[in-house]
Amino acid sequence: MEVPILKQGHYLIASIQSALTDADLSQLREALIERVGRFRARGVIVDVTALDVMDSFAVRTLRDIAHMARLRGAETVIVGIQPEVAFAMVQLGLTLKGVSTALDLEEGLLFLDQQAQLRIERGTGRIDRG
Partner 1 sequence: MATKGKDAQSVPADPQAQSESTAALLRELVAHLRQNRTQLREEWARRITRAQLLTAMTEEEIFAEATSVYDNYVEALETGTFEALQAYARNLSERIIPRGVETHEVVGIVLLLRDVLARSLFAKYHGDFDKLNRILDAYEPAANRIANTVAVGFVQERERIIRQQQEAIRELSTPVLQVRERLLILPIIGVIDPQRARQLTEQLLRAIRTNRAKVVVIDITGVAAMDSNVANHLVQTVEASRLLGATVIVTGLSPEIAQTLVTIGVDLSEMATVGDLQGGIEEAERLLGYKVVPQEELTPKA
Binding-site residue total for partner 1 (CB under 8 A)? 19
> In angstroms, rounded to a whole number, what is the distance separating the alpha carbons of residues 77 and 84?
19
String marking each residue 72-101 x if it binds partner 1 according to CB under 8 A: ------xx-xxxxxxx-xxx---xx----x
- Among 36, 44, 102, 109, the residue binding partner 1 under the rule CB under 8 A is 102
Phi first, then psi, for residue 89 (nearest 5°) are -60, -50
Smallest gap from residue 12 Cβ to partner 1 (A) = 19
Q: Work out whether 62 is an interface residue with partner 1 (CB under 8 A).
A: no
Smallest gap from residue 8 Cβ to partner 1 (A) = 19
> In angstroms, rounded to a whole number, what is the distance separating the alpha carbons of residues 36 and 76?
11
Phi first, then psi, for residue 102 (nearest 5°) are -145, 160
The torsion of the CA quartet 31, 24, 20, 38, rounded to 10 degrees, works out to 0
Q: How far is CA 16 from the centre of its chain?
A: 11
Q: Work out whether 64 is an interface residue with partner 1 (CB under 8 A).
A: no
Q: Work out whether 130 is an interface residue with partner 1 (CB under 8 A).
A: no
Catalog residues that contact partner 1 under the rule CB under 8 A: 78-79, 81-87, 89-91, 95-96, 101-103, 107, 111
